[in-house]
Structures are given as C-alpha cells and as structure tokens.
Chain A
C-alpha cells in the first residue's frame, strides 16, 4: 500500500497560465476526491469520482476548473487562466467502497501547493 500520491508538490505560476495536477489514488480504491485548502481553513470539497464517472461537483468548481479520471485510475485537475485567488493547497483523497466497507474514511495525499503570482 503506497498511499495516495500527488504531483507536483509545489507549483508557482503566473496569473493567466494553465496548470494541471495529477493524483494517483491507493490502487484498490474506487472513489477519488479533490479538495482545496486555504490558510486557516479546513479542506473544502471540489469534486468526486466513482471509478471514471464524475458524480458531483461543488459550486466552488468554476468553469475554469476541470477534472478527469480516465479509466478509473489516476485523476487530473486542470485550472485554466489561473487567478491569484486560486492560490491554495489542492488535496486529493481516495476511499474504498468494496464488500463490507462503508468507504466513508478518505485517505489523503500530500497535496499540491499552488501559488499564483
């Protein structure tokens, strides 16, 4: 069990540029989540996948944000035309709803810290 991994760990970009983050969940986990955390706040839900299907998106996820999970494995989160307000820690989590499991416990990766200058 290698845990949830995220790449890159840090990203500095100029306003208006596009950025893409990657998340690799725990291998047997069928659910994948993206959260955003800003200073002094807890993680805030952005979106959720069950296998390859994106089942829910928060209103925080503007049309500049898009997430994919092709083949139900890794996921990418893209932010187009970045703004300074996008600066935050972007966290990925996964969980397993296999037999006998509720799947409510989510396991987080180390996050990608985005700084928009």
Chain B
C-alpha cells in the first residue's frame, strides 16, 4: 500500500509562474515531511521540510504547506525557473515505527519551460 501518494506524474509550467506540487498521505503517525529534488543520474537533494506541528515553512522560493486534517501537503515554487526542472519526491517520517526511515512517494516530474 502506498502510504505517500503523488498523484500527478508530471507537471509543466512557464518560467516565472508558480509551480504547485501535491502530496497526500494515509498514515496518521507521520509527523515530519520532506521534499527532495532529483536530477537524472544524481541522488535526491534535500529541499525543505516541515514538522506536523506547523502548517507552513518557507525557504526562499520554496514554501511547503501542510494540512493535517486533509493529510495533504504541497510544495510551492515561486517564481519557477528552468533549473527547477527535475523529479520532486515527497517523503515522510513515521513517529510510530522506525524513528528514521523515510517513506517516499513516486515523484512528480516538473518541467519549467523558458
């Protein structure tokens, strides 16, 4: 069963516009969420994270929003740049199980067009 779901396999946006990547989860024990970016032939790169006690975390052009009641989080990138084109993974930590294992979604391919 897929506990972390990224239902959009791909997203295409114009340079300068907002990119919104979505993630849903089913496990109520998840208490920490992370976004990673992955370029081809490279490992995932940590972008931004959020604790379940918060509903928003911002770092430069990247903002993550968490809606615990809906079990939904989103990553906003404003403004989008061509260099942001990559696969974005949502990941979550389970406070009830292993303290340190991350569970990942399948990823969303973001393409930012010049």
CB distance from B7 to the nearest CB of A (A): 13
Q: How far apart sit A109 and B45, CA to CA, in the bound complex (Å)? A: 9
Q: How far apart sit A6 and B43, CA to CA, in the bound complex (Å)? A: 10
* Contact count A vs B, C-beta below 8 Å: 61
Q: How far apart sit A58 and B97, CA to CA, in the bound complex (Å)? A: 12
Q: How far apart sit A111 and B36, CA to CA, in the bound complex (Å)? A: 15
B25 in the interface, Cβ–Cβ < 8 Å?
no
Q: Count of A residues near B, CB < 8 Å?
A: 27
Residues of A within 8 A of B44 (CB): 43, 91, 108
Q: Mark B86-114, 1 if CB is under 8 A from A, else 0.
A: 00010101000010111111110000000
Q: How far apart sit A93 and B96, CA to CA, in the bound complex (Å)? A: 21
Find A110's partner among B43, B105, B107 (CB 8 Å cutoff): B43
Residues of A within 8 A of B100 (CB): 31, 33, 48, 56, 95, 103-104
Residues of A within 8 A of B105 (CB): 42
B49 in the interface, Cβ–Cβ < 8 Å?
yes
State whether A45 touches B102 (Cβ < 8 A).
Answer: yes
A100 in the interface, Cβ–Cβ < 8 Å?
no
A4 in the interface, Cβ–Cβ < 8 Å?
yes
Residues of B within 8 A of A44 (CB): 104
A-B contact pairs, 11 of them (CB 8 A): A42-B91, A42-B105, A43-B102, A43-B104, A45-B98, A91-B43, A93-B43, A102-B32, A104-B49, A106-B34, A106-B102
